[in-house]
Chain A
Amino acid sequence: MSSQPAVCFHKVCFSYAAEAVLSDVDFDILPADNVCVVGPNGGGKTTLLKLMLGLLKPDSGHIRVFGEAPEKMQGALGYVPQHMHFDPVFPVRAIDVVLMGQVGRRSFGFSTRGDRRRAEAALDQVGQLAQAQAQFAELSGGQRQAVLIARALVGSPRAILLDEPDAHIDPGRRDKLKQLLDYLPTDITRIMVSHNMDFVVSSVEKVICVHRHVHVHPTSALTAERIRNLFGSDLRLVRHDREHPTATGHHHPQPAGEPDGGEY
């Protein structure tokens, strides 16, 4: 079990209608890896996650999650979606949202005391136990994101997949979320999509760059120039707390341009 990769993509191609989103994607993520997926908007980051989750099927190639087809491993992955279009008057408390993280195809009847205890423990883990009885819609963006992370963690997943967890958080609250992500359990695989390199947490070991094609870099090899090549030129690199060894290896194709650039 430990020898096989957590996620394995082999010659994966995917397109929406006629538009190719990913082509010839090959990479492995090892168990307990802490990986960040970066790339321009529309470059295929979210698609990559959805393929891992079995929510999308590749046009060709194959994907294995812990050695199995993704749809067989859905219980083993904790997912934190980016856009949750929830109904603000949906009657649901924070604890109810976390409880849903334990519901699977074979969940019949009522939740057990054990389910509730685990849900409370997960809320505690993300520092939101005090909000357990609060209406989900009434929480702040950061609190909601923490609750969604608790929902992903509550089923004791072997991997957690986060899609732009910082997307809807105001800048003042980002540090708290970042701290939370830094303290995710280290024995599970952590895969985070981010548009915002500034947000890439300090413990990330590998960066997967997605722009139709996929390239994997150890974080240590990630230079300003590479990022500029990937995203276009109008960028600011904010984090510089690592050494940057000389760049070797491939060059990314120059993207057509990233209109909103973002802060890096």
Chain B
Amino acid sequence: MGGFFELLADPDVGFLRNALLLGLIGSIPLGVVGSFVVVRRISYLAAAVAHSALGGIGLSLFARVELGWDWLPPFAGALIFTVAAALLIGWIAVQKGQREDAAIGTVWVGGMAIGIIAIAKTSGYNDPMAYLFGDILLVRESDLWLAGGFAILIVALLALWHRQLFAVLFDPEFAAARGLRNDPVYLLLLVLTALTVVTLVSLIGVVLVVALLTLPPAIALARCQRFGLVIFAAVGINLLCISLGLWFSYVLDFPAGPSIILVAAGLYAATLFR
């Protein structure tokens, strides 16, 4: 255990510190946005948005290597893909009578297929596993600034809109009768989900990020009766899962992303059986 903290403090070795800091910063948007996602029961939709990020990551890797677009970082591709996926799914969801589930499935697998093909066609060795399940070595210091910026943006937008969003999620018809525009408020939540996913994708990958978006609020909901408390508890549980998960991964020499997710899944299981 001593080794873990020494490594964290070692000025020459940044990867573990960066990973932990990214996790701590990311816990905030994960907990806040995740709480809205879970009470609205759209985890599957958030999962589709997250998985579609692989398409953007793959295409930007391809563009960097094959087209020389060095200015295009993978996160930018992920950002464009996830926001587009969120808007597309949201738009289909608000069109009455559309098969929302089919659209979600298409965006989900379509994004992944594009990503895997683009990665396969990119010269050099690129392991899709790193993007699917996260790679602690992928976390760079610039990611921290980006995550911090996104966290502030997400929290600020929700601080402004949370009452409208909460009213729309609870009773859309009453909200509409109060003059609230349901569809844009719902799309805002989906776009914020996309931004949250992009923030954390390098640490835990497109497959696992949904678990941190949904499990901590689900754990919090089992104990807290006030929505404000659910949000704070979800942020706290995320902090705990990420810190403990990274420690386990160091001690047991496990991959970091899956270790974090197993802690979250274990805590969730504990709430079910208590």
A143 to B190, alpha carbons, bound, how many Å?
34
Shortest beta-carbon distance, B42 to chain A, in Å? 12
Shortest beta-carbon distance, B105 to chain A, in Å? 24
Shortest beta-carbon distance, B201 to chain A, in Å? 28
A105 to B175, alpha carbons, bound, how many Å?
9
**Which residues of B168-185 have CB atoms within 8 Å of chain A's CB atoms?**
169-171, 173-181
Tell me the count of chain B residues lying within 8 A, CB to CB, of chain A.
28
Given A91-B230, A105-B180, answer yes or no on A100-B224 (Cβ-Cβ < 8 Å).
Answer: no
Of B128-136, B146-154, B155-163, the one touching chain A: B155-163
Given A81-B173, A105-B181, answer yes or no on A100-B225 (Cβ-Cβ < 8 Å).
Answer: no
Q: Which residue among A55, A86, A91, A103 has the maximum number of chain B CB atoms within 10 Å of its CB? A: A91
Q: Which residues of A contact B173 (CB under 8 A)?
A: 55, 81
Q: Which residues of A contact B226 (CB under 8 A)?
A: 91, 93, 96
Q: Which residues of B contact A87 (CB under 8 A)?
A: 39, 41
A84 to B175, alpha carbons, bound, how many Å?
12
Interface 1/0s, chain A 66-96, versus B by CB < 8 A? 0000010011010101001011011111001
Q: Cβ of A55 and Cβ of B224 under 8 Å apart? A: no
The verdict on B166 contacting chain A, using a C-beta distance below 8 Å, is: yes
Shortest beta-carbon distance, A110 to chain B, in Å? 7
A55 CB contact (under 8 Å) in B170, B177, B221: B177
The verdict on A104 contacting chain B, using a C-beta distance below 8 Å, is: yes
Q: Which residues of B contact A84 (CB under 8 A)?
A: 171, 174
Given A90-B170, A92-B170, A108-B160, answer yes or no on A77-B227 (Cβ-Cβ < 8 Å).
Answer: no
A150 to B77, alpha carbons, bound, how many Å?
48
Q: Cβ of B179 and Cβ of A75 under 8 Å apart? A: yes
Q: Cβ of A91 and Cβ of B179 under 8 Å apart? A: no
**Which residues of B193-247 have CB atoms within 8 Å of chain A's CB atoms?**
221, 224-227, 230
The verdict on B164 contacting chain A, using a C-beta distance below 8 Å, is: yes
Q: Cβ of B227 and Cβ of A91 under 8 Å apart? A: yes
Shortest beta-carbon distance, A173 to chain B, in Å? 22
A79 to B174, alpha carbons, bound, how many Å?
7
Shortest beta-carbon distance, B213 to chain A, in Å? 17
A91 CB contact (under 8 Å) in B160, B167, B221: B221
Shortest beta-carbon distance, A140 to chain B, in Å? 18
The verdict on A195 contacting chain B, using a C-beta distance below 8 Å, is: no
Q: Cβ of A103 and Cβ of B167 under 8 Å apart? A: yes
Q: Cβ of A89 and Cβ of B171 under 8 Å apart? A: no
A108 to B170, alpha carbons, bound, how many Å?
17
Shortest beta-carbon distance, B221 to chain A, in Å? 6
Q: Cβ of A90 and Cβ of B179 under 8 Å apart? A: no
Q: Cβ of B174 and Cβ of A100 under 8 Å apart? A: yes
Shortest beta-carbon distance, A100 to chain B, in Å? 4
Q: Cβ of B161 and Cβ of A71 under 8 Å apart? A: no
Q: Which residues of A contact B230 (CB under 8 A)?
A: 91
Q: Which residues of B contact A155 (CB under 8 A)?
A: 178
The verdict on A41 contacting chain B, using a C-beta distance below 8 Å, is: no
Q: Which residues of A contact B221 (CB under 8 A)?
A: 89, 91
A89 to B164, alpha carbons, bound, how many Å?
19
The verdict on A249 contacting chain B, using a C-beta distance below 8 Å, is: no
Q: Which residues of B contact A103 (CB under 8 A)?
A: 163-164, 167, 175, 178, 180
The verdict on A111 contacting chain B, using a C-beta distance below 8 Å, is: yes
Q: Closest chain A residue to B39 by CB distance?
A: A90
Q: Which residues of B contact A81 (CB under 8 A)?
A: 171, 173-174, 177
Shortest beta-carbon distance, A113 to chain B, in Å? 15
The verdict on A190 contacting chain B, using a C-beta distance below 8 Å, is: no
Q: Cβ of A108 and Cβ of B227 under 8 Å apart? A: no
Q: Which residues of B contact A105 (CB under 8 A)?
A: 164, 178-181
Q: Cβ of B163 and Cβ of A107 under 8 Å apart? A: yes
The verdict on A197 contacting chain B, using a C-beta distance below 8 Å, is: no
Given A91-B226, A110-B163, answer yes or no on A104-B178 (Cβ-Cβ < 8 Å).
Answer: yes
Q: Cβ of B170 and Cβ of A109 under 8 Å apart? A: no
Shortest beta-carbon distance, B155 to chain A, in Å? 13
Q: Cβ of A108 and Cβ of B161 under 8 Å apart? A: yes
Q: Which residues of B contact A90 (CB under 8 A)?
A: 39, 169-170
A195 to B203, alpha carbons, bound, how many Å?
58
The verdict on A135 contacting chain B, using a C-beta distance below 8 Å, is: yes
Given A81-B171, A109-B159, answer yes or no on A74-B178 (Cβ-Cβ < 8 Å).
Answer: yes
- With A81-B171, A93-B225, A99-B163 given, name 8 new contacts (CB 8 A): A55-B176, A77-B177, A87-B41, A91-B226, A103-B164, A108-B163, A109-B163, A110-B162
Chain A contacts to B: CB under 8 angstroms: 53-55, 71, 74-75, 77, 79, 81, 84, 86-87, 89-93, 96-97, 99-101, 103-105, 107-111, 135, 151, 155
Q: Show 15 residue pairs from A and B whose CB-CB distance is below 8 angstroms, ordered by the A residue.
A: A74-B178, A74-B179, A79-B177, A81-B171, A86-B170, A90-B39, A90-B170, A91-B224, A103-B180, A105-B164, A105-B180, A105-B181, A108-B160, A135-B225, A151-B174
Chain B contacts to A: CB under 8 angstroms: 39, 41, 159-164, 166-167, 169-171, 173-181, 221, 224-227, 230
